[in-house]
Structure 1
Amino acid sequence: MTLIEPAAPRRRLRRGVVILPSAFTLGNLFLGIWAIVTASRGAYDTAGWMIVGAAIMDLLDGRIARFTATGSAFGEELDSLVDAISFGVAPALIAYFAFLRDGGEWAWILAFLYIVCAVFRLARFNIEQAGTAKANFHGLPSPTAGACLATYFAFTETAFWDSFLPQVPIARTAGWLMLFVGVLMVSNVLYPVVPRFSIRTWGGRFAIFLMLAALVSAFTAPAYFFFPFSIVYITWGLVRSVGMGFLDRLPERDPLYDEVDEDPDDERELDYEAMRPRRRFIRRRQSDRERRA
């Protein structure tokens, strides 16, 4: 006699696995909102580290969804909406509170333009690349742009800045940086995806080595690591795209333009010949009724 075990524990486990990526996405949202509140209180460096934490959450939720095969259209849309806040609104407000608030009545327009670029970037990503395997990102990823902008304040507080860059206008540079990364988000520059970790290939081993080195640097000297690292990544994408001729690798159509097919020839024609048996059947039923009457 074969005993069949109940499937309820397995279903509960499956449900828990499905919820796990969304939990990381909501953690991303929590850190983004917390960063806004923290920046409004004047703790700009702490707010910047929260954006870095949100970027880590964003990296993990996608990898967990792929690893557990629990990705969904709902998860993709939720992730984009959360990213618009954590890497669009939050970094823009951090920069505004820290550098632009005293720059005039209309200084907030720079923050608005950055947010518009971030929202456009995420919308384009949903159309072009969401749910597919990627070798490159089309445009600067919003987490990188947000982390670069949010950690700029911490880097300006370092001894390196005081020693080698004291003549650089901090507030004006922040405004130009905001516009620069915003334009890169909606540009056609290709940025490489984080390589997969593996001990079987040299590329995978090198990725593991880079990740370990990045973790050590991030924990030992975060103010010296995150902003320069993001600048290096941004510069590498620009140099790489120019060197490889990125104009030859653009998408076939503009993802911001929704094409509507209004061709009148696309109308469906009725097949009257196929309808004739149905008509004969109806006539036969009518004649049967007349005989019975």
Structure 2
Amino acid sequence: MRPPPFPIRRVVIVVPSLFTLFNLFFGIWSMVLATRGEFYRAGWFIVFAGILDTLDGRVARISGTGTRFGAELDSLVDIVSFGVAPAFLMFQVEFAGAGSAAWIFCYFYVMAAAIRLARFNVTQAGRTKSYFIGLPSPAAGMTVATFYPFTQTELFASLHRLPWHLLLNFLMIALTILMVSNVHYATLPRAGFRTLGGLLGLLLIVVILVFGIWQHDVFLFPLGIVYMSYGVVRAVLLGFFKAPAEDEEAEIAGPIVIDESNQAYGAGPRRGPGAA
């Protein structure tokens, strides 16, 4: 009697969720390291979580194995890795000795990350998209996480005259507002060789990878600031204050209606590349 075939399909479905769970592993480990004062490693572990967050969505999309379960798990993990962990790290680095009420900046940051992820699940999860509505929480989390490694560079030493504590207060407020805003942020560009856009996207990805590996301490925190600022500048130049389209307004501000016919396991939206 022949043995039953190995359930390859089931293994493939589980793989994206394994990336997600390793994302959670690094987020938790980052907080453990922060309690020990190992802020440098703690910051980079959040970056590792961000890399895994990108990979899980892409693996799910390429293999066609995205599920409602995977999408929900991804958001629950992201609130830890890109909400709680970066806020806890920043509190330990900057706000622990800044007064009894300084922790409130971290609370509002985590609150905004939770709202951002919930809104993403309702409005954009599982859809093909060329932009995110609001600053993605992984981008915000990695910007916060890479601040401490940036402080170990010569560039930071040359900027010692800047009021960094005040600037970090402003940074936490700005990230909080932008995550729950309607500002549009571009997704990771598609890379390819057939079109000019694909070549430019490939060039951008290669530049980020090269400098992110070669000069990671000095490169990634400014990159996060540039990405954060890009959305604001773009919004102002393109007319941020114009009224949103009717369907977009309903998605962002309208009531949430649950379709009971679409609640079966696996029937929900597929997880897209790049978490919220």
TM-score range, shorter chain: 0.7 to 0.9
Point out the structure with max Rg over C-alpha.
1
Matched, 1:36 2:31: yes
Matched, 1:236 2:236: no
Instruction: Give 1:89 shift.
Output: 0.1
2:249 match: secondary structure: coil
What amino acid maps onto 2:255 in structure 1?
D
What amino acid maps onto 1:138 in structure 2?
I
1:21–1:62 contact (8 Å) kept in structure 2: yes
Which fold has the larger relative contact order, with Cα–Cα distance below 8 Å and residues 6 or more apart in sequence? 2
2:27 match: secondary structure: helix
Q: Which residue of 2 aligns with 1:223?
A: 217
Q: Tell me whether 197-206 or 221-230 shows the greater mean CA deviation.
A: 197-206
Kindly tell me the number of residue pairs found equivalent between the two proteins: 254
Describe the shift of the 1:212–1:162 C-alpha distance in structure 2 as closer, same or farther (beyond 3 A): same
Q: Which residue of 1 aligns with 2:54?
A: 59
2:185 match: secondary structure: strand
CA distance in 1, matches of 2:249, 2:165: 39
Q: Which residue of 2 aligns with 1:252?
A: 249
1:100–1:175 contact (8 Å) kept in structure 2: no
Aligned-residue CA RMSD in angstroms? 1.8
Q: Which residue of 1 aligns with 2:187?
A: 193
CA distance in 1, matches of 2:63, 2:255: 33
Q: Which residue of 2 aligns with 1:26?
A: 21
Structure 1: stretches of 5+ with no match in the other structure:
261-293
2:101 match: secondary structure: coil
Q: Which residue of 1 aligns with 2:274?
A: none
CA distance in 2, matches of 1:39, 1:241: 36
What amino acid maps onto 1:144 in structure 2?
A
CA distance in 2, matches of 1:94, 1:79: 21
The correspondence of residues 91-170 of structure 1 with structure 2, limited to 5 A, is 91-163=86-158, 165-170=159-164
1:136–1:191 contact (8 Å) kept in structure 2: yes
CA distance in 2, matches of 1:78, 1:101: 31
Instruction: Give 1:252 shift.
Output: 2.2
Q: Which residue of 2 aligns with 1:264?
A: none
Q: Which residue of 1 aligns with 2:269?
A: none
Q: Which residue of 2 aligns with 1:277?
A: none
1:156–1:170 contact (8 Å) kept in structure 2: no
The percentage of counterpart residues that share the same residue type is: 45
Instruction: Give 1:178 shift.
Output: 1.1
CA distance in 2, matches of 1:231, 1:116: 21
TM-score (normalised: structure 2): 0.87
Moved over 4 A (4+): none
Q: Which residue of 2 aligns with 1:8?
A: 5
1:124–1:256 contact (8 Å) kept in structure 2: no
CA distance in 1, matches of 2:151, 2:3: 60
What amino acid maps onto 1:220 in structure 2?
W
CA distance in 1, matches of 2:134, 2:4: 45
Q: Tell me whether 94-103 or 197-206 shows the greater mean CA deviation.
A: 197-206
Q: Tell me whether 127-136 or 236-245 shows the greater mean CA deviation.
A: 236-245
Describe the shift of the 1:88–1:259 C-alpha distance in structure 2 as closer, same or farther (beyond 3 A): closer
Structure 2: stretches of 5+ with no match in the other structure:
258-276
